[in-house]
Chain A
Amino acid sequence: MGFDLTLTHSFGSFDLDISLSGAAGVTVLFGPSGAGKTTVIRAMAGLLTPNQGHIKLAGQDVFCSQKKINIPTHKRGIGYVFQDARLLPHKSVAQNLTFNCSAPIDHDLMERLGIAHLLARRPHRLSGGEAQRVAFARALMHARHMLLLDEPLAALDAPRKAAILPYLDQLKSKSALPMLYVTHSVEELARLADQVIILDQGRVVQAGSVFDVLSEPSCIPYLGVHEAGSVLAGTIMQHGNGLSQLDTAIGPLEVPQLSGLPGEPVRIRLLARDIILAKQRPKEISARNILPVTIEHIAPGRGPGAAVTLRARDTKLLARITQRSRVELGLEPGLQIFAILKATSVSRGSVSY
């Protein structure tokens, strides 16, 4: 199970020339508007025929300009979630889910997506968030080889988006299918991605696991200085005093209490701007997390900031400080220092499962 894609396609302003592959889990295609993300995912679905290239889905050639193969969309075994829900207005929710599909409705999935009570409704009587959740379920029920999600949350306002993200975590954990997820939201990327491919101007500028890519200073321009930061995987150890203790790749961390049970996996996002660096282990400080780290690399930014790549155990961490602090502290690669992280800076919204 997985996909391979190599294609070139002419746009008005630039050419798309791209090669990427993905396996099980969520591959996020990230980049600014007009980078070519939508072209790639539409080509994957057969909704767009690229000028040239080769697309392989679950071991089968679905497109090959050389061999003149172009399997139509309806035979590609995909599920597709569009930016707008595109529910069939003449069918009920249940009929939309089972439309052209013999599989019975999975009530557990309906519960997880919070749409079990909506099955008899007509699409025009759903809210935007509800409609999009139905669209997720429908795509999931129709997907045999792959699930394609084209900016599925972009049309929703912030509160609806926040409300739907936990459902997507559910979807991700429930489905074994490879997913290609197009977004320009760092939040969605950090929360859902296993693999990340960053596109700009029709080219792949960065690809790899979400943990590596988000700790890469060269990605900061694409993510934005306020959004940049590493993602860490961890396990809940225990709860107490309103805090949860996590075991992560960079050592134990204390964060505001989470809803998961001890032993459950979590993912947390540490924004680069929230990490404080100190040459000495600080004493009598309110911050709960003080980690010994090694400076691996320092990349000056275009403005007053500098991106510092840290290594804690075997894991990279990204911090952002001012150039001036860096000079005053005399920070250089190879130096052993301490990274300080307030427990409260790990917000609930940046935690996922």
Chain B
Amino acid sequence: MLTEETYTALMLSLQVSLVATIAALPFALYLAWILARRDFWGKALLSALVHIPLVLPPVVTGYLLLLSFGRNGWAGNFLAEWFGITLAFRWTGAALAAAIMSFPLMLRAIRLGFEAVDPKLEEAGATLGLSPLGVFMRITLPLALPGVLVGAVMGFAKAMGEFGATITFVANIPGETQTIPSAIYALLQIPGQESAAATLVLWALGVSLAAVIVSEWLARSMARRIGKGGSHGI
């Protein structure tokens, strides 16, 4: 059932989605923490801003990415000249598109995770001699881990399915930027390729569902470890 082409698209999708998730995670953690714990001027604006990819048509997001990160774009120019990095039409660009498209989902789950951590425990952490960074690393983050995990998996699943922005930004190059959704789209443009497309759909579904199920199980076992969030003193 797995042709070489399908295998290539599957592996590329996994690679793109994993890199997108891992690269987006630190930013999502930082922003989620800021939005959950800090009050500052323009907070609502920032929150709205990071949700833009959720409301914008993906094709528009892809177009904006190409305008910014293409070889004539300001960011593309800067990256190419100073770091020799090209994103347009590369798998790295696909990862960038996937990361941006999945960012709002990831951020939302992680933010909820942080908001579920009792700030009183963080205060207690300070009285136990932890610096603010220490409080974050040793109290907030471990307790928000189920939420972080859910966020990462949601982001990964969304990245696996990202199509509109990806195909606009990095096109549909087999082996380079042709992820599973792009490959499915291409196959549907050819008469008689329905079963090949169906195979890819099943694979994509399998990988994403497996990720969701595993994360669900992990999050539950973590929640059990910390007493389902309910304990004396919190």
Q: State if A and B touch, Cβ cutoff 8 Å.
A: yes
Bitwise interface map of B from 109 to 136 toward A, beta carbon under 8 Å scored 1, else 0: 0000000000011011111111110100
Q: Flag whether A7 is at the interface (Cβ < 8 A).
A: no
Contact between chains at A124 and B127 (CB < 8 Å): no
Contact between chains at A100 and B128 (CB < 8 Å): yes
Question: Given contacts A73-B127, A74-B127, could you give 12 more A-B pairs where the C-beta distance is less than 8 Å?
Answer: A47-B127, A84-B120, A87-B231, A89-B231, A89-B234, A90-B142, A99-B128, A101-B129, A123-B232, A125-B227, A127-B232, A142-B127
- Expressed in whole angstroms, the minimum distance between the Cβ of A138 and any Cβ of chain B is 7
Q: Which of A75-83, A214-222, A250-258 contacts B (4 or more CB under 8 A)?
A: A75-83
**Residues of chain A with a CB closer than 8 A to B134's CB:** 74, 100
Residues of A at under 8 Å CB distance from B?
Answer: 45-47, 72-75, 78-80, 82, 84-90, 99-101, 122-128, 131-132, 135, 138-139, 142, 148
Q: Top 8 closest A-B pairs, CB basis?
A: A124-B227, A85-B233, A124-B231, A80-B127, A86-B124, A73-B126, A131-B232, A89-B226
- Expressed in whole angstroms, the minimum distance between the Cβ of B48 and any Cβ of chain A is 31
Q: Which residue of A lies closest to B225 (CB)?
A: A90
Q: Contacting A82 at CB < 8 Å: which of B124, B131, B228?
A: B124
Q: Which residue of B lies closest to A130 (CB)?
A: B232
Contact between chains at B227 and A123 (CB < 8 Å): yes
Contact between chains at B233 and A131 (CB < 8 Å): yes
Q: Contacting B232 at CB < 8 Å: which of A45, A101, A128, A139?
A: A128
Q: Given A88-B121, A100-B134, A122-B227, decide whether A47 and B126 contact each other with a Cβ distance below 8 A.
A: yes
| B135-169 interface with A by 8 A CB criterion | 138-139, 142-143
- Expressed in whole angstroms, the minimum distance between the Cβ of A150 and any Cβ of chain B is 10
Contact between chains at A89 and B229 (CB < 8 Å): yes
Contact between chains at A100 and B130 (CB < 8 Å): yes
Interface size of B in residues (CB-CB distance below 8 Å): 27
**Residues of chain A with a CB closer than 8 A to B126's CB:** 46-47, 72-74
Q: Which residue of B lies closest to A126 (CB)?
A: B232
Q: Which residue of A lies closest to B138 (CB)?
A: A100
Q: Flag whether B26 is at the interface (Cβ < 8 A).
A: no
Q: How far is the CA of A270 from the CA of B105 in the complex (A)?
A: 65
Q: Given A90-B143, A100-B134, A100-B138, decide whether A74 and B232 contact each other with a Cβ distance below 8 A.
A: no
**Residues of chain A with a CB closer than 8 A to B225's CB:** 90, 122
**Residues of chain B with a CB closer than 8 A to A127's CB:** 232
Please name 24 pairs of A and B residues whose Cβ atoms are closer than 8 Å in the assembled complex, sorted by A. Answer: A45-B127, A47-B123, A72-B131, A74-B129, A74-B130, A78-B127, A80-B124, A82-B120, A82-B123, A82-B124, A82-B233, A84-B120, A84-B233, A84-B234, A86-B120, A88-B125, A89-B229, A100-B129, A101-B129, A124-B231, A131-B231, A131-B233, A132-B233, A142-B128
Q: How far is the CA of A273 from the CA of B160 in the complex (A)?
A: 78
**Residues of chain A with a CB closer than 8 A to B227's CB:** 89, 122-125
Q: Flag whether B230 is at the interface (Cβ < 8 A).
A: yes
Q: Contacting A142 at CB < 8 Å: which of B129, B139, B233?
A: B129
**Residues of chain A with a CB closer than 8 A to B124's CB:** 80, 82, 86, 88
Q: Which residue of B lies closest to A143 (CB)?
A: B127
- Expressed in whole angstroms, the minimum distance between the Cβ of B109 and any Cβ of chain A is 19
Q: How far is the CA of A123 from the CA of B124 in the complex (A)?
A: 15
- Expressed in whole angstroms, the minimum distance between the Cβ of B141 and any Cβ of chain A is 10
**Residues of chain B with a CB closer than 8 A to A45's CB:** 127
**Residues of chain B with a CB closer than 8 A to A139's CB:** 127
- Expressed in whole angstroms, the minimum distance between the Cβ of A144 and any Cβ of chain B is 9
**Residues of chain A with a CB closer than 8 A to B233's CB:** 82, 84-87, 123, 131-132, 135
**Residues of chain A with a CB closer than 8 A to B132's CB:** 72
**Residues of chain A with a CB closer than 8 A to B127's CB:** 45, 47, 73-74, 78-80, 139, 142, 148
Q: How far is the CA of A341 from the CA of B125 in the complex (A)?
A: 49
Contact between chains at B232 and A87 (CB < 8 Å): yes
Q: How far is the CA of A132 from the CA of B230 in the complex (A)?
A: 16
Contact between chains at A123 and B120 (CB < 8 Å): no
Q: Which residue of A lies closest to B127 (CB)?
A: A80
**Residues of chain B with a CB closer than 8 A to A100's CB:** 128-130, 134, 138
